[in-house]
Copies of this chain bind each other. A is one copy, B any other.
Amino acid sequence: MSDVNSTTPDWRSEINFDDKGLIPVLAQDASSHRILMVAWMNRDSLEQTIDTGKAVYWSRSRDRLWRKGEESGHEQIIDEIRLDCDGDVIILMVKQMGGIACHTGRASCFYRTLQNGQWVEVDPVIKDPDKIYNLD
């Protein structure tokens, strides 16, 4: 190991996980730069994301690792990983397989805009969720 490497802090030490050991992660489309979704990672899921080159989140509702696309096939291929100044938010720049990130069958989870005091759905459903998740 070189002197440079031995004196450079480990990348993990720069990350400030919260009191539950989690960090919020934004997935952004590397081509369109659209924000696709926000999820959570723990240290294990982040390490697996880096090792495999595909997004692996921590599902708070299911309390387990969530390999994005494991059911839908809508994997996210990692292009770049960024960290913010406080070390407490991560951006994944990704290639979104299938062009659908949201469980509602839309490109992005952010499909509602505020217009005159109402949330208005402005993005189409690309694929019926029943056809995404019920494959048999």
Contacts and interface: CB of A to CB of B under 8 A. Distances in A.
Interface of A: 8, 10-11, 14, 24, 26, 28, 32-35, 37-38, 50, 80-86, 89, 91, 102-104, 106, 109-114, 117-119
A81 B102 CA distance: 18
Given A8-B118, A24-B24, A91-B110, A84 B37 contact: yes
A58 B106 CA distance: 30
Contacts of A32: 33
Contacts of A11: 114, 117-119
Contact of A112 (B50, B83, B119): B83
18 contacts: A11-B119, A24-B24, A28-B35, A50-B114, A80-B114, A81-B113, A82-B113, A82-B114, A83-B110, A83-B114, A83-B119, A84-B109, A85-B102, A85-B104, A85-B109, A86-B109, A89-B109, A89-B110
